[in-house]
Structure 1
Amino acid sequence: MKMQKYLFIPIMPTPNGRFHIGHISGPYLKTDILARNLKFLGHDVKVMSGVDTYEAHVSLKAIQEGLTATELNNKYYELMLEDLSAFDIVFDSYINPLSEQHSKSFNETHQHLCDELKLNSAVTYKLEKFHKRNDGKLMTGCWIRGSCSNCGSQMKAFYCEDCGANLRPEEIINPYFIPALTNNESVYQITDTCAYIKVNPSILEKQWKVMGLDPRFIEIARTFLKKEGNNVRLTYPDTWGIEYKDPKFSEQQVMFSYTTMYFYSLYLADKYREAFDNDEKPFSIGSQVKTIAGFGIDNTNAYLVAFLGAAQGLKIKPFDYFLTNHFFQLDGKKIASSTGHAIWAADLIDKHNYPSDAARLYIMYINPQFSPNSFTLDKFDSFYKSVYLKDMIGQTDDVINFINDQGTVDVQCTPSVRLMEFFEAQQVHFSFPTPDILKAINTLLDWLKISPALSKNNITECIDWLIGVSILSHSITPALSKKVMKNFNIDEQWVEVNFQTKEETLA
């Protein structure tokens, strides 16, 4: 089998709160499972991301918590690491752009990429209306609330989560501002010229097709492109963010989050080369490094339009694959950090006392990859007791104890034909461009059903079943897999001989 290089860059979360189970159910746990599987197969896999420091909600949340934006960023950066660790989600690099190690080079990279877009004639300009408070504060982005002019739902900033519309400030109906204006404050309109990236929609259509994307995501992107005249925002007036200067601007302008997340990805790709001694630039034309991003439906336009459009303008290779997901609810309602309607990732493990493996298994079992889904503690607890404790842990422990009672046993035997069929079926479900984690989990659960039929007189069958549990659970419930491997001293060389030498079908 030829070793392939992979670089996963799941979306950079805004550090204005901790990771909740909705975040985990989307790109982060899915990325971890797929990366673990590829590493198991012998590929060179790296997972990199970090916090989206300069997203506008950071400055708003900082005011609400009585902190500076920098203090807030650093606080939630550390708490997010705890949430990831609680779920055994592993990153090779998870950065804080405000750290001494990154702050200067991070900003320089963004400036350079903006300049490159202008040099390549990929930038255009639009005159727009914005709100400004009488004390000079620009009331853009997250500072604005109101009704969506497309569907009538309540929305904030530039995006309506109900219908997916992206609106300019002047398009929001009955706008009001956060924090609420005092008696001494008023808001007036200003006009300023903003920078946009020009996008070729025919190229995007071809890329979407190759990526095998959900048609619902594609339709959102098409609607956005039509409304915006095949352009995507590059800058807007604000003070918190990476400033970009242009003689056409009247106000201070910063780079818009859609574009900065892509520039962030390119920055991480540079760090990938430096940190892991890779000569190849992951996004250079002709690069053999497979690049994979992950995001939710609310960031469709950022990835399907801004990311791919900016790659056009920079004349570099776009991401090879996108991992997408719909919304994940709690008790049938939208998870909202601001109102506290959420379960923080680490709390599900530490305060509710569930093992990481159980939480990983259930959240991916109901993951919102193909449609929205909802989490309830009652249903999780029922699944935990019946599927995880009884079918998975109980049966595994029974068979382990039976084999251990037999004395010295050579468990490093050749896997059965049946096990290899299950393994190869699971690999199909893990394969790109559209891996299906639920089907991969069901392959594991189907394997567990074999246990009651095992003959305790046939120790070879029992050993083969346990090996299957370890192999098929390796990426999904890693603690269980390690437990079986450690108990029977299954080493990496045996895994390589029996599983990594198989022809696998990942692109």
Structure 2
Amino acid sequence: MSVPLWITATPPAAHGELHIGHLAGPYVAADVLSRALRADGRPVLFTTGTAEHGSSVELRALRTGRKPEEVAEGYRQAICADLLRAGVVFDRIVHPRTADGYGSWVQDLFTRLRNEGVLAARTRLMPYCDTCDRWLHGAHANGTCPHCALPCDGNACPSCARPNSSGELLEPRCALCDTPAAMRRCRRLHLPLESFRDQLADYWAAAELPPRLAALCEQLIEDGLPDVAVCHPGEWGLPVPGEDFAGHRIDACFEAAAIPLFGYRLDLNAAPERAVHFCGFDHAFCQTVLLPALMLAQGIKLPQGFCVNEPLVLDDDSILPGEQPATVWALDLLTEFGSDSLRRHVLQTRPVGRAVHFSRAGLEQARQTLDATWNGWLIRLFARIRQDCAGRVPDAEPGGAGWPRLRELLLRTAEDLAVAYSPDSFDPRRAVALLDETVRSVDDFAHINAHERRRPTGHGRSMAATVAQLEVAGALSAWARPVMPEGADRLAAALGLPTGRAITAEALAAPAPGTRLSPPSGPVFGF
């Protein structure tokens, strides 16, 4: 059996629900690639996790008077439910607090790396809040990034992605009480990345990184790779093994790299042929630097690719009364617009290379496009078959005015979709554009050939045009499934075709003559 291609998506932090930025970032796009590859018959393992031990979970608990485990569990369940509602289906989601063997596996990895000299103790200055009597690590500290001079916390900077885990944060303040932090000496374990300089440089060169990601990595090499703190004094998270760091917890940045490794279990399974990582640029350090370093430390070197998205910026009309600024919850939008409209829109406007503005008006336009063009054409097609053929597929060869040209275009579209869905040239925005063009073209074809019904000699040509449209509908039930699986599966069921067929020219086929169609009572795509 061939070794699967491994697709990962950054584990979402369990301190809040999913919002539109999550779906527009790693998760829907990664699901599209997973579905497209499976349809092509390629074995895939699609994994993620939930970041339950992060400082943001503990901070949310302190702010709301709850226990961290209550916060983590509540949002873990909400995150997983929202992913399913969005049609994002993982093979494996690692839940650190409940996954069998996860805690001991991470602690064993931590111990092994320390025994091999990969981790080293360093005493550095670290922010401390005298008012709260608490060390300020990760989300507990707010300040200014020393690298880009923009606001950030003690994790990786969301703007430049550089880490600030070892006391580099400028003008740190307590995120809980806003008191200016005192700087105290703290002895912690660090991962000195400079010892991996040559290996990481070779790894990044082979990975053909996106330019902004390549610039980050080259800047890190030029400035000297940092020592990354991998533990901190605290009460939330996995305890550091050993007595000399009693009271310390394994840092969330280490777990962010460990969760994907546990999800695949490279220590037990043969390495995949390739891995493709989906992440936002703000998480690029963990996925592009820390994860490879942990793998290289264990003698694992994989051909890997990175699909990195920029942030989604929300326009004022995206914020409804009572909502928190700059937040639109995935559950609310999925309930209002459905997964087809939402997935189509976030893929069409995917923030690659630059930040992209999101507005509810744009999402509404995506729904209207599905209703007016996609569903409008299908409703008319099913109605015509019901009226002219008693709801059964006519026994005719595909044809009609303009069919040879349209079929030629469709054959090229199948080739172009294969390129857009490929991990080497993955471009979901291109896939959406190709699908839209297909529907517009067949809708024009349908309107042109509708006049055949008015001609005394046009019955045969009208039936041929109907079968031609059914061929396109059959193709769309396969071609559109990675983008809009809910609607594509409804269309396949209406046509009596199997789901998950290959995205090839062979999908351009109508159901067998005489097949009774079963169109849904409502829209095929969206609702």
1:244 CA displacement? 1.7
Give the Cα separation in 2 of the matches to 1:419 and 1:3: 32
Q: Distance in 1 between matches of 2:481 and 2:393?
A: 22
Q: Which residue of 2 aligns with 1:276?
A: none
1:34 equivalent in structure 2: 33
Equivalent position to 2:284, from 285, 294, 300:
300
Partner secondary structure for residue 195 of structure 1: strand
Matched, 1:158 2:137: no
Q: Which amino acid aligns with 1:176?
A: R
TM-score (norm 1): 0.85
Q: Which whole-Å deviations, capped at 9, do the CAs of 1:364-408 have from their partners, x for residues lacking one?
A: 1001123211110112212321x2211211112222322343423
Tell me how far apart the structure 2 counterparts of residues 8 and 413 of structure 1 sit (CA, whole Å): 42
After the TM superposition, which residues 491-502 of structure 1 pair with which residues of structure 2 at under 5 Å, given as runs?
Answer: 491=498, 499=506
TM-score normalised over the length of structure 2: 0.82
Q: Deviation digits for residues 34-93 of structure 1, max 9, x if unmatched?
A: 111112112222322221111111100011121100000011011112221221221223
What SS does structure 2 have at the residue aligned with 1:128? strand
Moved more, 15-24 or 401-410: 401-410
What residue in structure 2 maps to residue 223 of structure 1? 219
Deviations, residues 158-190 of structure 1 (Å, cap 9, x unaligned): 3332333333564333221122168xx984612
The yes-or-no answer on 1:326 pairing with 2:322 is no
CA-CA distance at 1:113 after TM superposition: 1.2
Task: Confirm whether residue 443 of structure 1 aligns to residue 434 of structure 2.
Answer: yes
Matched, 1:393 2:375: yes
Q: 2:472 aligns with which of 465, 469, 494?
A: 465
Q: How far apart are residue 340 of structure 1 and its match?
A: 4.2
Kindly provide the CA deviation profile for residues 283-324 of structure 1, in whole angstroms up to 9, marking residues without a partner as x. Answer: x5xx34533321100011111110111111111234622221
Matching residue within 341, 344, 347 for 1:358: 341
Q: Report the alpha carbon displacement of residue 122 of structure 1 after superposing the two structures with TM.
A: 2.5
| Aligned partners of 1:403 and 1:462 also within 8 Å | no
* Pairing partner for 2:294 from 295, 310, 321: 310
Q: Is the 8 A contact 1:131 1:188 kept in 2?
A: yes
| Distance (Å, rounded) in 1 between the aligned partners of 2:294 and 2:316 | 37
After superposition, the Cα gap between the structure-2 partners of 1:315 and 1:19, relative to the gap in structure 1 and judged at 3 Å, is same
Q: Distance in 2 between matches of 1:479 and 1:309?
A: 39
- Secondary structure of the structure 2 residue equivalent to 1:449: helix
* Residue range with higher mean Cα deviation, 486-495 or 364-373: 486-495
SS of 1:143's equivalent in the other structure is strand
> 5+ unaligned residues in a row in structure 2: which ranges?
399-405, 451-461, 508-527
The total of aligned residue pairs comes to 478
Tell me, yes or no, if the aligned pair for 2:129 and 2:135 is still in contact at 8 Å: yes
Give the structure 2 partner of residue 85 of structure 1.
Answer: 84
Residue identity in the other structure for 2:314: L
Residue 178 (structure 1) aligned with residue 175 (structure 2): yes
Shift of 1:332: 7.1
1:253 aligned to which of 248, 251, 257: 248
Structure 1, unaligned runs of 5 or more: 274-279, 501-507
- Cα distance change of structure 1 residues 15 and 422 upon mapping to structure 2, 3 Å threshold: same
Residue number in structure 1 paired with 2:358: 375
Contact 2:474–2:495 (Cα < 8 Å) also in 1:
no
Shift of the alpha carbon at 1:418? 4.3
Amino acid at match of 2:145: C
Given that 2:396 and 2:467 are in contact with CA atoms closer than 8 Å, whether structure 1 keeps it comes out as no
Contact 1:146-1:156 within 8 A present in 2 as well: yes
The percentage of aligned residue pairs carrying the same residue is 17
Amino acid at match of 1:391: T
Partner of 1:277: none
Aligned residue for 1:42, secondary structure, equals coil
Following superposition, which runs of at least 4 residues in structure 1 exceed 6 angstroms of deviation? Answer: 332-335, 410-415
Aligned with 2:257: secondary structure? helix
**Residues in 2 aligned to 1:111 and 1:480: alpha-carbon distance in whole angstroms:** 44
The separation in 1 between residues aligned to 2:62 and 2:396, in whole angstroms, is 59
RMSD of the alignment, in Å?
3.2
1: CA distance, partners of 2:395 / 2:259: 47
Distance 1:207 1:170, change over 3 A: closer
- Aligned partner of 1:256: which letter? D
1:479 matched to 2:486: yes
Corresponding residue SS for 2:171: strand
